[in-house]
Each structure stands twice: as structure tokens, then as C-alpha cells.
Amino acid sequence: MQIRSDILRIYQKVHLWTGITAGILLFICFFAGALTMFKPQLSAWASPPSHVLPQIPTAQADRLLQLALAQHPEIAKGFTLHLNDDMYAPLTWYSRGGGRRLNLDTQQWQATLDENGQLLTQQVQPSQLGLLIDLLHRTAGIPHTRLGISVMGVASVLYFMALVSGVIFLLPTLVKTLFALRQKKGPSRFWLDSHNLLGITALPFHIVIAVTVVVFAFHDVFYDALGKFVYDNPPDIMRGAPLAQPLNISHLPPLSEIIATANQHAPGHEARSLMFIGLDTPRPVARIEMYSEQALMRGPLADFLFMQPYSLATQFSTFSPTEGGTWGRIVATFFGLHFGSFGGMPGRWLYFFMGLSGAMLFYSGNLLWLEKRRQQQKGLNYHNNRAKYA
């Protein structure tokens, strides 16, 4: 394919400077992103075995909640129930910290039942390793989380420009050099061939990552704009209409009924954990993680079902074909492709290696730039010395 040399030089410069500007940040995010594919496993590995109380049959969840509530009334504000997951205790709630913020002072209570059906509780400081890796993935280590996410949004725009310009620059020699790893022509040529091969073979993956990161970084701006120019007073679909009068945990239906209702919402999905938030407020919500190995899930580890915990009315879900229409399914598909939340464990291993290959792409690009700068500096010193002694 013939492209004018002056146009190629322009795209080469665009590729060079966009790649260098964002390369270090993207290397950190891709390396950490590969590790986030096993975020729960890493957190469990970093926690002493004694920090996780044993699981119980789902049928005993209601008894567990009643006994725990009698000793710890603060559970009435909110708690999380984990179902058949040995990496978590059956019932957990935070006395300090929690959420997605890194907090070394986080304190968590856990509860389970012993062999005789009696309550066992303990207070632990949960491992922050998984949260730390996730934070590095989202912010590249920039201390202020919101600023870091915004910076990564800008870096992803540069990342997309580097992808497009790199492909255009490579087009004239694509067929001849794509699978050529020319080791005999020196380390620089080998790294260049490896860089090109990693970029072209995983191009669809990189395009999806670049586009979705921009959406993640600036979704508040997008939603605010839609709310102002497209919708009139858009509803809070994940919290629903406020209650006329706040209820309390005594009005909560049996957990077994909530779990059964959630499982009936989407055949093929199974409730994995239930997080109850704001049970004593006008806007209570149950956020239920729904898992399926056959589905392309929207979240990093599962789909989500939001229910009104007292009436069991569905407020929002990320997996129903009717939720959000065609556009909603497109968004959910992009999210699932970003997180690699499909295909079970083989899919997670695939994304783990894809993330590492992405980190290697930016590492090799920066290595090539440094080597080129070194050669240029060497040539400049050589000519300066010749001029000095001429």
C-alpha cells in the first residue's frame, strides 16, 4: 500500500509523542489491570486464613442474620451476605471504612454459625491488596483518585491516537514485517518487530480498552449532559423513588425469599452476594451480584441487580435485554469486554495475559524511544567532537 512519505512522517510523529506522553501511565494501568483479573484471590491470599470465617448453607442465612443483629444492632443500617464463596465470611459489615477507597484503618466485622448453630463473630482488618491494585489500575498511582481517573481518560485519548497513527504508519510494510522477529539485526529491530506484532494482533482489544476508559473517566460529564439536554429530570434508576416513611430491618423479607426472587429475575444467573445499603433511610437498596459463566457480564466479576429490599421491586439490572434498550446492551457489552467478565476462569486468564501483553507494548515502545534518543545523542557527540578537533 502506497502512502506519501510526508504523510507517514506526520503519523510517525503523532504515534511517537502520543505514545511517549501516555506510555508510562498506561504501562502501570495495564500491568495492574492484568492483576485485577484475580483481585479477590489476591486479597484472600494476602489475608491470614483465620480472617475468613467458614461458609454456611444458604438456608441458614436468616438465622445467622437474626443472631448477629441481636448482638450487633448496627447491622440494621446495612450489611453484605456472601453465598457459597469460601473467600468471604457469610455475613460482613464495616465498623469503619469500606467501599472502594483505600483505607488502612478499615475495620470489618464477620459472622457465621458453628457446628451447633451458634453465632461466631470476629473483627478483622481486611487486606487492602486488591483495592490497592484496583486503585493503581484506575489512577496509575496518582494520589487524588478523581484527578487520576481524569488523567487516565486523557491518556486513553492519546492512547487511541497512538493506535490509529501506529497502524497507518505500519500499513506500507504490514504484510512483509508483521510476523518477522528479526533477532539477527540487533536488539532494537527485535523490539520494534515485537512492538508492532503486539499492537496489531491485539488491536481490537486495545480499541475497546481505550474507548471504555474514556467513558469510565468522563461518564459523570456524559450523564450530566444527557440529563440537561436529552432528559427532563432523569430518575435515579438504581435507587428508585424515596419511601414516604423510612422502614427498618424488621420489615425486611426473609433472606431466602430475596435470594429466590433475584434468581428468578434472570434464568442462568445466580446470586453470589447481596449488599444491603441504607436500610434505615428513605432510599434503601439491595445490590445483588448475579453470576453466570455463559453471559457477558457488565461488572468486573458479575452482573448487578438493584432491588427495593422491602418490596422486592426491581429497580435496575445490567443483564436484562429490556433494560436500557439497544443502547443499554451496547454499553453493557463494552463494559463486559473491558472487564473480561465472561468465559469463567479461562476468560480471566486470557485477559490476564492480554493485560500483560499491553504492558509489554508500552514498555517496548518506551524502550525503542530511549534507544533512539541514545543513538541520536551518540551521533551528536560524535559530530561535535569532529568539529572540535577539525
End-to-end CA distance of the chain: 46
Rounded distance, CA 86 to CA 112, Å?
12
Mark whether 146 and 33 lie in a shared domain: yes
Mark whether 269 and 326 lie in a shared domain: yes
Mark whether 334 and 351 lie in a shared domain: no
Mark whether 53 and 121 lie in a shared domain: yes
Collapse the DSSP code of 182 into the 3-class scheme (helix H, G, I; strand E, B; otherwise coil) and give the result.
coil
Mark whether 207 and 65 lie in a shared domain: no
Confirm whether 135 is domain-assigned.
Answer: no
Rounded distance, CA 160 to CA 178, Å?
20
Rounded distance, CA 324 to CA 333, Å?
12
Mark whether 295 and 329 lie in a shared domain: yes
Burial tier of 59 (Cβ tally within 10 Å: 0-12, 13-18, 19+): exposed
Mark whether 154 and 15 lie in a shared domain: yes
Confirm whether 305 is domain-assigned.
Answer: yes
Domain count, the chain: 3
Confirm whether 239 is domain-assigned.
Answer: no
The last residue of a domain, from among 97, 126, 155: 126
Rounded distance, CA 317 to CA 287, Å?
10
Mark whether 216 and 149 lie in a shared domain: yes
Mark whether 351 and 329 lie in a shared domain: no
Neighbours of 376 (CB within 10 A): 10
Confirm whether 157 is domain-assigned.
Answer: yes
Confirm whether 366 is domain-assigned.
Answer: yes
> What is the helix, strand, coil percentage profile of the chain, to 5?
60, 10, 30
Rounded distance, CA 293 to CA 297, Å?
9
Q: Which residue has the cell 434508576?
A: 237
In the prediction, which pLDDT does 75 show?
93
Local confidence pLDDT in tens for the 390 residues of the chain: 567 777 888 888 888 888 888 999 999 999 999 999 999 899 888 888 777 899 999 999 999 999 999 999 999 999 999 998 888 999 999 988 777 777 778 889 999 999 999 999 999 988 889 999 999 999 999 988 889 999 999 999 999 999 998 888 777 766 566 656 665 666 677 778 888 888 888 999 999 999 999 988 887 776 666 555 554 544 455 556 778 777 889 899 999 999 999 999 878 889 999 999 999 899 999 999 999 888 888 888 888 999 999 999 998 888 765 555 566 677 778 788 899 888 888 999 999 999 999 999 999 988 888 888 887 777 666 566 666 555
In this structure, are residues 107 and 51 in contact, taking their beta carbons and an 8 Å threshold?
no
In the prediction, which pLDDT does 236 show?
53
Confirm whether 134 is domain-assigned.
Answer: no
In the prediction, which pLDDT does 53 show?
92
Rounded distance, CA 210 to CA 11, Å?
19
Mark whether 286 and 356 lie in a shared domain: no
CA 261 remoteness from chain centre: 28
Residue-range definition of the domain harbouring residue 300: 249-342
Mark whether 32 and 92 lie in a shared domain: no
Mark whether 184 and 327 lie in a shared domain: no
Confirm whether 281 is domain-assigned.
Answer: yes
Is the four-CA dihedral 201, 203, 206, 208 of positive or negative sign? negative
Collapse the DSSP code of 96 into the 3-class scheme (helix H, G, I; strand E, B; otherwise coil) and give the result.
strand
Confirm whether 380 is domain-assigned.
Answer: yes
In the prediction, which pLDDT does 271 show?
93
Residues 6+ apart with CB under 8 A from 187: 371
